[in-house]
Chain A
C-alpha cells in the first residue's frame, strides 16, 4: 500500500537529498505506524461500535442469545412507545429551557465580569466552580437541598416567605423545572468563560469609534458586540444543546425511584436515561440501540444546522 502511494505522489516533504524511494517508503511506514495507536482504537471503539449499533438496532437481542434480525420493528416500536415519546418531549422542553437560560445568563455574566480586575476574576471563579466539581457530588447536594422535609434548604427558604414545605422531587410538574435550574446553575459558568474569551477578541477601537459617534451602551451592544460574537454564541448554544440532550446523571441521581430511572410517573425521563433503562436494566439491547440511533440522528441534525449557520455567517 505504501509503495503504491509513493509511486503516484510527489512527496511534499521530500527535501534535497532525500530522493530515494526506499527512504520514502520507510517514512510512509513510519507515518502509518504513528497513526496506528489512535486509528486502531478509533476504529475499534468508535467506528465499529457505531456500525454495530446500527445493526443491533435492527435486531432483538438480550445480550445472551444471538441477535435475531427484525428489520425496522424497533424503530416502528419507538414511534408508538409512549415512554419514549414522553422521554423525547421531556428532553425537548428541558433542552430548550436549559439552553436559553444557560446562554442568556452566561452572556450577561460575561458582559458584567469580563475585566481583568480582581473583583471580576473572583466572580468568574465563583461561577466556574460547578464546572470543576464532581457532578455526582453536586447532584447529591441538590438532592439534599430539595429534601421534602422542612429541614431541606429549599423548604426553609420557602418557609421564610410563608410557603408550606413542597415535595420538590416527588411532584411531577416540578421535575423538569428543577432539572433546568440545576443545569443552568452548573452550566452558565463554563459558557461564561467562552463568552469572555470571545468578547476579548473584539477590538476595543470599535467601541471607541462608536462612543465618539455618540452610540449608547445598548447601541454598542446591538451593533458591535452581538454581531461580532455570533460565531461564539453559535458555538455555546450548540454545545450546550448537545450536552443537554445527553443528560443522564441528574435523572439517575436526583430523580431515581426504587423501581425505575425516570422519577415520579416518569416525569423526569429523558432519552439517555431511557436508553440506559432499556439496555442495562431490562437488557433489550436491540431496542436500546434504536434509541441510541434516534439520539444520534437528532444530534447529527443539530450539528448540520450548526455547520450551515456557520457557513452562512462566514459568507455574510
Chain B
C-alpha cells in the first residue's frame, strides 16, 4: 500500500520537551492566523448547501421575496407535497409537490432513486468482479499475451470516454438496449482504471499464498474467490467507492440512452425537472429533489468518511 498511515505530521507537534515549548506555541498561533482565510473559505463551502436546504423548505412566496430570508420564516414541506394543490386547477400559488409529480411513473419520484441505486450497485459489483479476475490473471498467471493485454488496458486509460460516445450509442442501439438497464450497465462494466489499480495492488502481494493454495489442489476459480478476493479487500473497497460515486453522478450517457420517463436515473430526472419548470415558484420543488438526490451519498460519506478519503487518496497515489 502506498498510503502510509503515520502519526500526525504537523510541523507544530509538541515533540521536543522543555525549552522549545514556548516557541512552538508562538508558532502555532501564527499558523492559526494564517489559516483564517481558509476558514472563511470553508464558510463559502457550506453556504450553498445551506441555501439548497432552506430553499427546499420555503413556501413559494418566501423563495421569491426580496431580500431573501436566511432562516425560513414559515418552513413548509409544500416542495414535496402541497396539500392544497389540485390537478385540474391552475392556481399559481400552489404548484405540485415533488411527490405529486411523475404520476405516469410507478413509484413517482422514488422510481428514479431506485433506478440510480440499482444501476450504480450492479455496475460496481460486476465491474469489480470482472476487473479482479482480469487483474489476477495478469499478475499471477503466466499466459501468452498478458503483457500485450495489460499494455492495451493501460493505453486505454488515456481515452476520454466521450471519444467513444457516438459508436457506443450506435452499438447499444443496434443491440436494442436503448432505454433499458442493459444499456446502462453493460457498457459501464469494463473499467481499465480499476484493473490497473488492482494489478498494482496484487503485484505487492507475494505469490506464496496462491502457490500454497495451488499445491493444496485448489482450482483457479476457488483461488480467485477464496484467496485473492480477501487479499484485495482494501483495494476493492477503495475502488467500489470510486466506481459507485462516478456511476451515481453519471449524466451524459444516461442522457443519451434514456428515452422513456421511467428509465431515468436521478441526474436525468433532475435535469428534466429543471428544463420543464423554469419559473421561480418551481425552485422549491427542484431544490427539494436536489436535496433528496444528494442525501444518500452525503449521509454515506459522513458515516464512512475515513474509507472515502482513504479510497480517494489510495487511487490518487497509485497513479
Residues of A at the B interface (CB closer than 8 Å) are: 1, 5, 9, 11-13, 15, 18, 27-28, 30-32, 34-35, 37-39, 41-42, 44-50, 52-53, 56, 63, 105, 108-109, 112-117, 121, 123-138, 140-145, 147, 149-151, 153, 156, 159, 185, 189-190, 193-194, 196-202, 204, 207-208, 217, 220, 232, 235-236, 239, 242, 245-246, 248-249, 252-253, 256, 272, 275-276, 279-280, 285, 288-289, 292-293, 295-296, 299-300, 303
- Nearest-Cβ distance from residue A247 to partner chain B, whole angstroms: 10
Residues from chain B with Cβ under 8 Å of A115 in the complex: 8-10
Contact B298 A129 (CB under 8 A): yes
Counting from the closest, the 8 A-B pairs by CB-CB distance are: A197-B313, A137-B290, A194-B316, A49-B167, A49-B164, A38-B134, A52-B167, A5-B144
Beyond the given pairs A136-B267, A136-B270, 15 more chain A to chain B contacts, judged by CB atoms under 8 angstroms and listed by A's residue number, are A11-B142, A34-B224, A38-B130, A45-B187, A46-B156, A48-B167, A134-B267, A141-B52, A144-B51, A144-B286, A194-B317, A272-B252, A279-B166, A285-B170, A303-B158
How many Å from the CB of B88 to the closest CB on chain A? Answer: 28
User: Which one of B35, B68, B160, B293 lies within 8 Å of A299 (CB-CB)?
Assistant: B160
CB pair B42 A123 closer than 8 Å? yes
Name the contact of B287 in the complex, choosing from A45, A141, A285 (C-beta under 8 A). A141
CA distance A112 to B33 in the complex (A): 11
> Measured between alpha carbons, how far is A116 from B300 in the docked complex, in Å?
21
Instruction: Note all chain B residues with C-beta closer than 8 A to A279.
Output: 165-166, 169
Tell me the nearest residue of chain A to B187, going by C-beta: A45
CB contacts under 8 Å to A, within B163-179, are 163-171
Q: Is B137 an interface residue (CB 8 A)?
A: yes
Task: Identify B252's interface contact among A27, A53, A194, A276, CB under 8 A.
Answer: A276
- Answer yes or no: B96 CB below 8 A from chain A CBs: no
Contacts of B190 in A (CB 8 A): 38, 41-42, 45-46
Measured CB to CB, the nearest residue on chain B to A210 is: B11
B160 to A50, Cβ gap below 8 A?
no
Q: In the complex the two chains form, what is the Cα distance from A171 to B32 in whole Å?
A: 39
**Max chain A CB contacts within 10 Å: which of B136, B163, B255, B314?**
B163
Bound Cα distance A196, B195 (Å): 25
What chain A residues lie within 8 Å of B15 (beta carbons)? 208
- B11-43, CB under 8 A of A: which get 1 and which 0? 100010000000000010000001100110110
| Cα distance, A143 to B280, chains bound together (Å) | 11
Residues of B within 8 A of A189 (CB): 45
**A249 surroundings in chain B (CB, below 8 A):** 251-252
Q: Do residues B11 and A296 form an inter-chain contact, with CB atoms below 8 A?
A: no
Contacts of A207 in B (CB 8 A): 9, 11
How many angstroms between the C-alpha atoms of A108 and B39 in the bound complex? 12
Bound Cα distance A204, B7 (Å): 9
- Per a CB cutoff under 8 Å, which of B165, B256, B290 touches A134? B290
Interface of A: prevailing SS? helix
**The one of B280, B300, B305 that contacts A149, using a Cβ cutoff of 8 Å:** B280
Are A114 and B9 neighbours in the complex by a CB distance under 8 Å? yes
Contact at A194–B313, with CB atoms within 8 Å?
A: yes
Q: Which of A37, A134, A289, A292 contacts B294 (CB 8 A)?
A: A134
Out of B46, B192, B287, name the residue touching A42 (CB < 8 Å). Answer: B192
Asked if A41 and B130 make an inter-chain contact with CB atoms under 8 angstroms apart, the answer reads yes
Interface residues of B in 47-77 (CB under 8 A from A): 47-49, 51-52, 55, 63-68
- With A15-B214, A114-B10, A300-B158 as known contacts, state yes or no: A140 contacts B270, CB within 8 Å: yes
Separation of A117 and B159 alpha carbons in the complex (Å): 40
Q: B267 touching A135 by the CB < 8 A rule?
A: yes
Residues of A within 8 A of B214 (CB): 13, 15, 18
Contact A246:B137 (CB < 8 A) given known A114-B10, A151-B65: no
- Asked whether A32 lies within 8 Å of B287 as measured between CB atoms, the reply is no
Residue numbers in A under 8 Å from B283 (CB-CB) = 144
CB-based contact A137/B294 at 8 Å:
yes
Select which of B38, B171, B189, B215 is within 8 A of A109 by beta carbon: B38
* Pair B158/A299 contact, Cβ less than 8 Å: yes
CB of A248 within 8 A of CB of B152, answer: no
CB-contact partner of A256 in B27, B152, B275, under 8 A: B275
Closest B residue to A197 by beta carbon equals B313
Contacting residue for B166 out of A53, A108, A199, CB 8 A: A53
User: Are A9 and B144 in contact (CB-based, < 8 A)?
Assistant: yes
CB of B171 within 8 A of CB of A49, answer yes
CA distance A9 to B42 in the complex (A): 60
Q: Are B195 and A45 in contact (CB under 8 A)?
A: no
Q: How far is the CA of A152 from the CA of B66 in the complex (A)?
A: 9
A275→B312 CA distance, assembly (Å): 30
Contacts of B319 in A (CB 8 A): 235, 239
Q: Which residue of B lies closest to A133 (CB)?
A: B294
Contact of A38 among B42, B195, B275, B302 (CB under 8 A): B195
Whole-angstrom distance between the Cβ of A162 and the nearest chain B Cβ: 14
Whether the Cβ atoms of A275 and B165 lie closer than 8 Å is yes
Kindly state the separation between the CA atoms of A279 and B162 in the bound complex, as whole angstroms: 11
User: How long is the Cα–Cα vector from A121 to B305 in the complex, in angstroms?
Assistant: 10
Contact A35 B149 (CB under 8 A): yes
16 pairs, CB–CB < 8 Å, chain A vs chain B: A13-B211, A30-B219, A45-B171, A47-B156, A49-B168, A129-B301, A135-B267, A141-B287, A150-B66, A151-B64, A201-B2, A246-B160, A252-B255, A276-B165, A279-B169, A293-B163
